[in-house]
Amino acid sequence: IKKSALRLYLCCIELVSHDTFIREFGLSDTFNSWFRVLELHLWMLMVRLSDEGKDGLALRNSIINYMWQDIDKKTKKLGVSTMTARREGVMDISEQFKAALFSYDEGLLGDDKQLAGALWRNFFDKNCNNAHDLERMVEYVRKQVYHFDWMI
């Protein structure tokens, strides 16, 4: 399961063009934007894994462990100097991650307006005044979730 989890995590890191999302949607080129793109794609993957019972849960948990290991490495590279500062930063990210997962779940189960609200709050960090960009992201998420449903 750990090998599969690592492969799936790496797909979210290497096959998703974070730079394209940053450029296309005018996101700032920061660690936070990188994480928001990753968070969205991991959530879509987790939606799919939720249909796989115990194995899906184990795989999901392992993927999330790889994410936290990666975030720890990246925050060290960013020069977050003290262990306390890094721990506080990771705790903030953890709270954001949990809230985003809940919000995206509600949006997916609801209508496009609810999903757009979840994307505006989380992916765009409440900083999107372009309805077309929100529409594009809602369409993207719905298509990706649909495609993931047909995997395996």
Full-model pTM: 0.92
Cβ 94 vs Cβ 5: under 8 Å: no
**Helix, strand counts (H, E) of the chain:** 7, 0
- Count the neighbouring beta carbons within 10 Å of the beta carbon of residue 74: 13
Other Cβ atoms within 10 Å of 118 Cβ, number: 26
Query: In the block, which residue shows the tokens 């968070």?
Result: 39
Return per-residue pLDDT of the chain as tens, 152 residues: 899 999 999 999 999 999 999 999 999 999 999 999 999 999 999 999 999 999 999 999 999 999 999 998 888 887 766 677 777 778 899 999 999 999 999 999 999 999 999 999 999 999 999 999 999 999 999 999 999 888 75
